[in-house]
Structure 1
Amino acid sequence: MIKNYGDRYHLIDKKALEDKKLDKDQLVEFVKTSGISEIGKNYNIVSIIGSQSTGKSTLLNQLFGTKFDVQNRQQSVGQTTVGIWISKDVQNNVVVLDVEGSDSVERKSGENMVENQTALMALAMSHCFIINVFLNALGQHTSCQLSIIKIIMQQNLKLFQQDSVKHIIFVVRDWDEDANYEEASRRLNGYLLNIWNEIPKPDQYKETDFHELFSVQVVTLVYYKMKKEFADQTNELHSKLANQQDPNFIFKDYDYEKNVRWSDMPQYLSNIWEVISNNKDLNLPNEKILISNMRCQQIKLEALEGVKQLNEDLNNRVRTKFVDNFANECQTIMNIATKIYDKDARDYHIEVYKEKEKELKDELINRFYTYFQKQIEQLKQYYMNMLSENLETLKRESIYNLPDKLNELDMLKLQFEEQLSKSVIEKGLWQEEDHIKYFKQQFDNHLKAFVEAQLATFKQQLDNIIKSECDKIVSSQVLNISPKFWSQIETDYYSMIFDKYQKYEVLLIGLRVQQKQIEDYLNKFEEDCFHNLKQVIAVASGRFKDQLFQQFKAQFVRASDGQPRNWQKLTEEEIFHFYTDARDKVFSLLDLLRIRKIKFIKQSANIKQKAKTLIITSTQKVQYEMSSDADSDDVVLNDVFYTQVKMQLAEDIDVQYQDAIQKHKQDFLQNIPKPFWFLLLFFMYDDVLRWMGNPLLLYPILIILCFIGFCIAIGLHSLPKLAFQWVFKTLNQAVIPLIFGGISKLKGS
């Protein structure tokens, strides 16, 4: 059986009544081909009920230009419309329902429920329903369809309350000028009010006025053969129902947002008919919500599909490199998706629309979050690589430039934070503060490791510099050893250390080393510096003997004006005086050098002032002795080394003294004439030979020669020399003066 005629459709037919379900596929096809789907939600539905064969279809065709089948008046009276037919006003957004007439003789006894179901279906769909009644039937309760309205009210009170106010228009046909309009209107309204008062109602509706749920109008139409008047009256009624510019337009205050879109109407009507045909309680808002849920869910998926390529593109890009303005791109995708969704879903139930819109945004945000995690990793990797590259460059920079460079590197953290803020679509949504905190911690740890490595290298360089400075300080004093030897070294050392200490501290602060670590670094610096000083002094102690000997020579050999002494013009007593004076000074300095008189002074205790010497002032008598409480670490020359140095120094000093005496005597002997020496040798040679033959003289000479050979063999070269010097000195002081004294006396006599 044909259901879809293009301009009209058999919505409820015998099959739908028997199967208790609609042919949804054919209904979908009709909605598309008829153009009804194009009107969206801006429409009204008008249905008509009335007795069978009373011209309902004819009236609809006259009002809306529809083409419902009508009864051939040449045939016998019978049923033309079965169930419900649907069509559309040819010019306006009005959908028309032609409902099967009541009191059908074709219906068997007990089938009144079918009439009730079709009427309820029409009433559930309609915004306005027309009750077609003839003037001569106003007193017939059944003919006026009031019995059906009563059943509808009784079973579906919620239907009226939950959706909207229903418009009821009584169209009184075959009206004549003798009829009383006021009486007819009063009677029809009275019938409805009586029904309202008779039906049982929940407590909350017992006091409800009938007109809060119904808007009732009574319209009269003359006999259809009075064509001009009939046409004028139907046109006027049509204008009320279809022309939004008409002042009497009955849907003037209607909220079209409550309508179901015609694209979703097939599903919606199928659900309603299933409920009605199974005699279940009908809840129109719930049905609309179900439809809205279904369609909004589908539209949401379409919106997600619409931005699928954009999502994939963003995902692919963020896998290889961080995306600049990541949040803007996410927001663009979000806007496109919501625009797609809003275009098709905004006409559905507002709460469902908002709920699905939120689901759409939540799903997109969840996807964006997975991209955001990759974005974070890319950002971290990028800026950590930037840090590593900069640090590699800084390795070639002076460490004193690092504090300023570190401040410049802080810009990387700010840039990371800025990029991260441009990657978040809503502040606090993705715990970006935690990511910033973790990155800064990772950044600072990397920077700290670099600074520690640079400090370790710098510490070695600084250690070498300190050694060099200490060597200069000690060497300058070793070149001219004086009673102020230790005090001057200490003064110069702490002056140098004070400057280095301050610069080192400023450097450590600039390198952002923690205060506790700064203290550790500075303490280690002071300890290492003092250790270096001690090492330099220990090495320099090997030069003490040579330097003291040179200072002895400078004092003994040269006069106060710097000129060499003329030994020939000096007496031996004067030479001996110069000798003992210079020797005592040198030995005094040697005693001074035995113990290091420099104490370890922590700079942290005197950071505001330069270190002060702990050595006694030069105006006091300088005496250095090994005290019982002296630290063994302060000993520069231990007993063995001190004794060895002193002996070697004494040997060298005595050699100088003997050399001076010899020069003095050589000058005296040079005054004796040379012939005297030849004459003396001529007369004494036989005595010399005789002495050599004497064992008492020969053996001592041999013993002396053996002693000299033994000393040379064991390395004591200076011992025979010292022995001869002592003997020569004794003879010189005792025998020679007697000889020359006697000669002088003989010359005088």
Structure 2
Amino acid sequence: MGKEDCCSTQLIDANGEFNFKGLQNFVSSVKLSRCGLSYAVVAIMGPQSSGKSTLLNHLFYTNFREMDAFRGRNQTTKGIWIANAVGIEPLTIVMDLEGTDGRERGEDDTTFEKQSALFALAVADVVLINMWCHDIGREQAANRPLLKTVFQVMMRLFSPRKTTLLFVIRDKTKTPLEYLEPILREDIQKIWDAVRKPHAHKDTQLSEFFNVEVTALPSYEEKEEQFKDQVAQLRQLFFHSISPGGLAGDRRGVVPASGFSYSVQQIWEVIKENKDLDLPAHKVMVATVRCEEIANEKFSSLMINEDWLALEHEVKEDAVRNFGRRLSSILDNFLSEYDAESVFFEENVRSSKRQQFMSKALQLVHPAFVSQLGHLRVKSLQTFKSQLEQLLRRGEAFAASVRTCSESCITEFDKGCSDAAIRHANWDASKFRDKLIRDIEAHVSSVRNDKLSELKAIYEKQITTALAEPVQSLFDVGGSETWASIRKLLKRETDVAISCFCPALSGFELDQDAFDRMMQSLKDYARSVVEKIAREEAGKVLMQMKDRFNTVFSHDSDSIPRLWTGKEDIKSITLEARSESLKFLSIVAAIRLDEKSDRIESILFSRLLEGKISISSRNSDIADSCDPLASSSWEEVSPENTLLTPVQCLSLWRQFMAETEYIVSQAISAQYSIDWKKVSVLFLSQRYSELFFKLWIFCPILSVRSSVHAYFNDMTG
């Protein structure tokens, strides 16, 4: 889409005639009637030759006629023009108003410009107020009487529709926007407060009628690229401007799109009939112009004053001693000069322009004041950090040290703020003081956390040392009282650590909640040490089970290695060894630090040892939902305390049985070893088949049968 798609149309001509037919063609071209309530209207007002059309063309890709700077500053836009904002969603109608203060209409003929401004605020959802940066704070600036009239008539003719006033400050100077905006908003509020209101709106706030927004743009002629970049950013605000949170998101009383043409025509007719508009007195106008000239001259001189520039340079580098006294003296000199040159002008205007000069002067010097307080804050914070570190190194209590250092540094900062204050402004240093306090609190919090972490780490190390090896030893023994012993050990060592930890925390003067959290944290850590060891044991349970089995199976009660002589009861020994292994499995199946009873051991013994689960069973063998080992959880044990689920225990047991079966077989083989020479004698006295049959029957172990079979094969060739 190009600028030709904007369909620009003159809505009202220079004589105030409404172009209804042109409006109808425009509405048809942009298909406005289809929009329902989903459309927006944006207008612009401001002084003649202030770049309104140029701004709109860059902002909305319209093609309003712009002033040719090389042909002089004259009226470009006559009447009111409208166009479609190209590429903006939803459909947005842009209104370009004839500039105010135009010499073409004459000094006293301001009726049309006031009427057109009223029309813009009555119809538009967003009105751009185009104004020069140097007009901010001026009592008789071009937009000031106009806004006053607008406020009066808006309340008389319309119910509040929440129009957004977007003040666009043109040719912005070096003064930051954050200093210009409060002055502008204050001027707008003063105009509103001064307007006589009907009884129904006597206490109505400005915010009920208008949203006020402020932005600033650099000079188009001097900084064209920067101007275009910032206008492109401003353009983004008009996308979805009527959505909640948008530029006109809380507008009210929107006319449906199908009735837009008739509505705006009637509004214009009403406004044309209202011609009772006042002009400022000639005397006031002359005083306004001359006093403003004097004020501007003094301000220009202040900007290049050597004393001021020297002070400004010094405060950029570091805090300046006697800052407030030096700056007050500079301002007093320029105020005295202004008073002397403006003494014969109308008092109200003279006083107003004096305030305007003072306001601009304070805006100029305020950044230096901010720098001064910034340096004071930084120095105070650095002093606090240094003093606190020294006290803590000497072993002083933390909380007491913080109080001592804080009081000293804040007192010193307050003294510096008093030195920086000037007589002409009641600048509030509380934000800097609050920032200093927040910075101190943040540093205190950081140091406190570090110190508490260091202290806690010491006692955590002590707990780890006290628990790790003893708990590991208890697991190695693996008896029926393992968890009871662990609980007793955990409680004893935790109590010892806490009894030492409490006095160490007293110097921090923690509140009860923080103190309780630290205590609980230490207790939780001690518990976590035990839990970690338990989980490690669970991770190597199969190896531990096999070690226990080998120890019990291969050694007698005196820990002497067994010799399989044929007199041993291998079945009983095997059962005892498996029982010890299964007991260890039940110990590490769950964490039992809460003294809650469970049936894990009885289930494992009844199901695995007494139930004789086969090592060759498949998962289908335990498909029965009633089988406790078919579950993924223990009834009495929470998931967080479960180390090995029933299914995992069953799987481990099968693996254990499979990997220990060979040891049992070897023992049986050794017990059934035969002196084959004696068998040979027996073979000579009995028939081969009878002996072989007996050996085969009474040697059920496969390895022994194989030996018998091989031997007799050798004997018989």
| TM-score (norm: length of structure 1) | 0.34
Q: Greater Rg, structure 1 or structure 2?
A: 1
- Relative to the length of structure 2, the TM-score reads 0.35
